[in-house]
Structure 1
Amino acid sequence: MVQGCETPQIDSLARRAPRVSYRMAEVASILDEPGTLALFGFAAGASPGDDPRYLQVALEGFDTPAPFELWRVDAPVSCGIEGTLRWSAGGGWLFAAIELDEREHGGLEASATVAYATLRQFVGQRAEKHVLRVWNYLGAINQGSGDAERYKHFCDGRAQGMGAFFAEGFPAATAIGHRGAEHRMQVYLLACDQPGSRVENPRQVSAWRYPRQYGRTPPSFARAMTLPAQDALAISGTAAVVGHASAHEDDLDAQLGETLTNLEALLASAGMAAAFDTHSPLKIYVRHSADAPHVRDFLQNRLSGVPVLLLHGDICRSELLVEIDGWRYA
């Protein structure tokens, strides 16, 4: 089945970065707004309705109800559904998402292969072929030990599915474990018809160069991506990692401080002014629900006025308690 939609035309500003914001409103009213490229809800249940631009992410928010995350572009938007893949496009930008049941594809590794191969084939035939940012959400991410850990199986499958598609460099990315059904895997991306600029953190070893102890296949992502117009930085999942090692085990405040230091290092590496502002939304993934109030207080003190979406999620290393990703606009 293929389903389409189109929003009213508005004036276009070529390749201006999508504007990302957190909103409290009715799903239908947001989807009706001109330029809505994608809308995300945060709860474990199924998506309400069948608009291809809406994705119900399998992570619970600590706010009840959690706000929606909205992506808007300065152009008319078209969208559709092709098999298990949903997409929308406008103004040179592309949102694409896939959700799979691991039980139908032979497990996590095979499902990751299918998901990335499907996305690669779809994006590869589009004008918006430059993948800038990817999000990966899977169940029980830390289950298993050594090479049998589920996250490592996911990395193996992802590499098989992407093939040589990212031979010139990886996109920014996040991989987080949700607390919903273990077999549910979601992958979605933002792509453009113009390339971005990859950004690495001088305090950290590039993820694709991690030593063997982190699995047969190293994680495949850049630490951040400057979008084509140089007007925004898409920031990968960032935690208390220095070099390639996790820092401050069991010390939440120290991990939060180290994570913010890494974020500031990314801004500097991208040539952006220090600090985040009221237009630069961040998602905070917190492993233990009991830590959420403290994390909120910590961030209100250190990132006053910054839009923050607090989510219950497992970080890809079991010793890490918190991870942050998001956007910084110039």
Structure 2
Amino acid sequence: MRPCVASLPPLDVRYEPVTAAVPGDDVLAVIGYGAAFESGTDPRVLRVALEPMSQPCVEVWRSTARVEHGRDGALCWSNDGDYGFFAIEIDEVDDDIGAAAQAAYRQLLVHVEASTTPHILRLWNFIDAINEGDGDDERYRRFCEGRARGMAQFHDACYPAATAIGGHDGRRRLLVYGLSAREAGTPIENPRQVSAWRYPRQYGRTAPTFARAMSTPAGQLLISGTAAVVGHASQHDQDLRAQISETLANLDSLVAAAQGRFGERAVLKAYVRDAADAQGVRQAIATHAAQLGEVLLLRGDICRRELLVEIDGMQDLPV
């Protein structure tokens, strides 16, 4: 892949004090975390139920233009002409996460494809009790089936980058939010991993539908949730230190595939299954990529129950 030639202005994504939760006219989205965060009524302000394990903060997406915003039924949105933010929460009926995923994705795709920013770059999915159930009845596998049904009419040429993480609040409510753009991005795959949509049958009836990363038209790399998976198999069962090392090797490989170097001008989130592991994860990331600023640590379950940590984020690419 050649270095990106930017055709859209970059988004400014950073962590800021919780006082920044009142957005100005240039803010596309504000994302807060945990039960203590209050989202208010502005459709650009979103609460994710995962509890932070670092200094409370909000994630702010700033634009270079004036942002419009509103609601479309259950869906919240904002748009600056180049980028769109969208978020939808769907209650499960009778614990049917598959039906909730199908409904959420159908609604958000109708909205996005009718907007001035019809190309989805990045998605986040938050699912209560993601590992509950055995075999094909596991909630994550049922979510993948519903997501695929909801994306059946997806008109873009490639899957977006994505993350799916489990929560612990006991509320059977699916949250999906994401970023779209006026122009399409370029999907990036990791040479160390099998593409998610090509996973063999052992991982469920329906393979996950996401790219490992997406290079945006602004020369920014949107990194999907990345864990200790090589080929298609999980590595280092229940060994935190080895899993972090493997995850960081995957991130190095993925960013190199986009002709970047992991950690340079990056904004990262680490999802950690066990709160007691948070400090070890923080130290390992800081040692591997010393030039990073603060990494946001959140308590969340990974889509495979043997995995203990997952990292996603965004970083600039050479232009």
What TM-score, normalized by structure 2, do the two folds share?
Answer: 0.94
CA contact (8 A) 1:45 1:56 kept: no
- Partner residue of 1:199? 188
**What one-letter code is carried by the residue in structure 1 that aligns with 2:166?**
G
Please list the CA deviations of residues 102-153 of structure 1 after superposition, one character each: whole Å capped at 9, or x if unmatched.
Answer: 13x7621110010000001111111211001000001000000100000000
- Partner residue of 1:312? 299
Mapped pair 1:251 → 2:270: no
Please list the CA deviations of residues 252-272 of structure 1 after superposition, one character each: whole Å capped at 9, or x if unmatched.
Answer: 111101111100111111122
- Partner residue of 1:58? 49
Cα distance in structure 1, aligned partners of 2:101 and 2:185: 25
Report percent identity of matched pairs. Answer: 49
1:1-330 equivalence runs, <5 A: 15-29=8-22, 31-32=23-24, 34-44=25-35, 47-64=38-55, 66-103=56-93, 107-166=96-155, 168-229=157-218, 231-272=219-260, 274-277=261-264, 279-306=265-292, 307-330=294-317
Cα distance in structure 2, aligned partners of 1:244 and 1:234: 21
Residue 276 of structure 1 deviates from its aligned partner by 0.8
CA contact (8 A) 1:109 1:157 kept: yes
SS at match of 1:310: strand
Please list the CA deviations of residues 2-46 of structure 1 after superposition, one character each: whole Å capped at 9, or x if unmatched.
Answer: xxxxxxxxxxx96212111011141454x02x4100000001367
Following superposition, which runs of at least 4 residues in structure 1 exceed 2 angstroms of deviation? 44-48
- Partner residue of 1:4? none
Please list the CA deviations of residues 273-305 of structure 1 after superposition, one character each: whole Å capped at 9, or x if unmatched.
Answer: x2313x311000000111112112222222224
CA contact (8 A) 1:280 1:326 kept: yes
Cα distance in structure 2, aligned partners of 1:166 and 1:242: 30
Cα distance in structure 1, aligned partners of 2:162 and 2:75: 19
**Alignment length (residue pairs):** 311
Please list the CA deviations of residues 201-255 of structure 1 after superposition, one character each: whole Å capped at 9, or x if unmatched.
Answer: 01100000000001010000000000013x2100000000000000011111111
Judging changes above 3 Å, is the alpha-carbon distance between structure 1 residues 106 and 297 closer, same or farther for their aligned structure 2 residues? Answer: closer
Residue 92 of structure 1 deviates from its aligned partner by 1.1
SS at match of 2:284: helix
CA contact (8 A) 2:21 2:45 kept: no
- Partner residue of 1:9? none
Please list the CA deviations of residues 55-85 of structure 1 after superposition, one character each: whole Å capped at 9, or x if unmatched.
Answer: 0011100024x21001111110000012110
Residue 91 of structure 1 deviates from its aligned partner by 3.6
Greater mean deviation of Cα atoms: 93-102 or 300-309: 300-309
Greater mean deviation of Cα atoms: 293-302 or 92-101: 293-302
SS at match of 1:26: helix
CA contact (8 A) 1:240 1:246 kept: yes
SS at match of 1:44: coil
Greater mean deviation of Cα atoms: 39-48 or 218-227: 39-48
Cα distance in structure 1, aligned partners of 2:53 and 2:241: 19
Cα distance in structure 2, aligned partners of 1:137 and 1:143: 14
In structure 2, stretches of 5+ residues that fail to align are 1-5
SS at match of 2:266: coil
In structure 1, stretches of 5+ residues that fail to align are 1-12
Cα distance in structure 2, aligned partners of 1:320 and 1:106: 24
RMSD of aligned alpha carbons: 1.6
